[in-house]
Amino acid sequence: MRRTAALIVGGGPAGASAAIMLARAGVPHLLIERSRETGDALCGGFLSWRTLESLRSLGVEPDALGPARVTQVRLFAGGKMAEARLPRPAHAVSRRHLDSVLLDRAARAGAAIERGVIVRAIDGTTARLQDGADLAGDALFLASGKHDVRGLGRPAGARGADPALGLRIRLGPSPTLHRLVDGAIELHLFDRGYIGVVLQEDGSANCCMAVHRSRLAEAGDPARLLEALARECPALGERLGQRSGSEPIDAVANIPYGWRAHGGVAGLFRLGDQAGVIPSLAGEGMGIAIASGIRAARAYSEGGAGAAIPYQTRLARDLAPPIGIAGMIRAGAEHPPVARAAVAIARHLPVLTELVARLTRINHSHLDHPPRAQES
């Protein structure tokens, strides 16, 4: 059996952020990632101004993320549209690019990283690998994102009777998409779901959807659902009209929006979606992932494996307001009459949209003071 002091399972934003912080502090650790090459995880691709603060504390400046600056938010429902400025400029980026930048930063900080290592199950702080070997840590940082690992899965009841699914299609760059979307994050609301649209670093449009299983079942399959939504939502139809027809549709099932890990266990640090799942319309999923990685690494560096319990308790407390507010907004947004009324109000009072944007952030700033030791 191999052993390490701190074992990080997952090389996405949460795991990479933890690895950077542990490497800076000189704490022995190992990050394992199932993929040999960085892919493009299903994700909305939005980095809020607070997330950019956290990234700066890790040594990642916005310029490294590409040119896709976001300053506006637009809401669409039933033919109505509302627009407001974000409190501060944000950014859009593909997960492939963000993960590559963060893992490169971790490697340059001296992080120990092994790729192509698949975890089949976890028992305590020991990971059982696909090849049958065991890899144990004094502490385990669970950063597997939306995907559960056997032995530490989130409760099935958190998904509800009509669970949400995530769907994503990437539209290639085009002058029409640039004209329609550039500089904005869009939310198109419809019956039992919503879809976010934003341009990313290469000019392509990331169209990421959360939809209840019942709505997808009524349509028959993801392609038919997109066709129905293009007819139902004119503005969305204009954007989806830029499809070539050959784009793959990525999917992830049974997302437990609203779930949080309330209590902690000594030695186990849950990060990102394994700590709390904010409805994706808030655009704060990656912010929570990065902030939790920073918090967990600092807690372990200062207090060892036992620090997992106060870390998890505090994180659950701090996640309650943004997840709760985003959950209430999601509940209304998925009902067309409520969504239409909300967009009409937001059109006349854009300050409300800005207020919601602020209230659905996790406050990262106090976490981002420089660590004691910087990498050379």
CA gyration radius, the chain = 20
Is residue 207 in a domain? no
Tokens of 97: 């690019």
Is residue 140 in a domain? yes
pLDDT number for residue 95: 96
The identity of residue 315, as a single letter, is L
This prediction's pTM: 0.94
Tokens of 196: 């976010």
pLDDT number for residue 364: 57
Q: How far apart, in whole angstroms, are the C-alpha atoms of residue 225 and residue 337?
A: 20
**How many of the other CB atoms lie within 10 Å of CB of 253?**
12
Q: How far apart, in whole angstroms, are the C-alpha atoms of residue 207 and residue 165?
A: 14
Task: Output the domain CATH number for residue 284.
Answer: 3.50.50.60
Backbone angles phi, psi at 359, to 5 degrees: -70, -20
Is residue 213 in a domain? no
Q: How far apart, in whole angstroms, are the C-alpha atoms of residue 70 and residue 68?
A: 6
DSSP string, 124-159: TTEEEETTS-EEEEEEEEE--TTS--BTSPPPGGGG
pLDDT number for residue 367: 43
**Mind listing the pLDDT tens digit of every residue in the chain (376 residues)?**
899 999 999 999 999 999 999 999 999 999 999 999 999 999 989 999 999 999 999 999 999 999 999 999 999 998 999 999 999 999 999 999 999 999 999 999 999 999 999 999 999 999 999 999 999 999 999 999 998 999 999 887 778 899 999 999 999 999 999 999 999 999 999 999 999 999 999 999 999 999 999 999 999 999 999 999 999 999 999 999 999 989 999 999 999 999 999 988 999 999 999 999 999 999 999 999 999 999 999 999 999 999 999 999 999 999 999 999 999 999 999 999 999 999 999 999 999 999 999 999 987 544 434 444 433 3
Instruction: For residue 124, give its domain range.
Output: 2-69+91-158+256-330+360-367
Name 270's bridge partners.
142
pLDDT number for residue 70: 97
Q: How far apart, in whole angstroms, are the C-alpha atoms of residue 91 and residue 255?
A: 24
pLDDT number for residue 122: 97
Is residue 9 in a domain? yes
Q: How far apart, in whole angstroms, are the C-alpha atoms of residue 52 and residue 340?
A: 32
Is residue 273 in a domain? yes
pLDDT number for residue 303: 97
pLDDT number for residue 157: 76
Nearest to 129 by CA among 114, 146, 143: 114
Calculate the alpha carbon distances from 131 to 6, 115, 126 in Å.
Answer: 21, 14, 14
pLDDT number for residue 369: 43
CB 279 within 8 A of CB 163: no
CB 119 within 8 A of CB 128: yes
Calculate the alpha carbon distances from 199 to 92, 171, 204, 235 in Å.
Answer: 7, 9, 6, 16
Q: How far apart, in whole angstroms, are the C-alpha atoms of residue 264 and residue 358?
A: 28
Beta-strand pair 69-77/184-190: parallel
pLDDT number for residue 1: 86
Q: How far apart, in whole angstroms, are the C-alpha atoms of residue 247 and residue 152?
A: 34
Nearest to 292 by CA among 269, 258, 268, 320: 269
Is residue 238 in a domain? no
Distant-in-sequence, close-in-space partners of 340: CB < 8 Å, separation ≥ 6: 77, 78, 80
Is residue 221 in a domain? no
Is residue 183 in a domain? no
Q: How far apart, in whole angstroms, are the C-alpha atoms of residue 247 and residue 204?
A: 12
pLDDT number for residue 159: 82
Number of domains in the chain: 1
The identity of residue 211, as a single letter, is V
Nearest to 315 by CA among 271, 359, 374, 361: 271
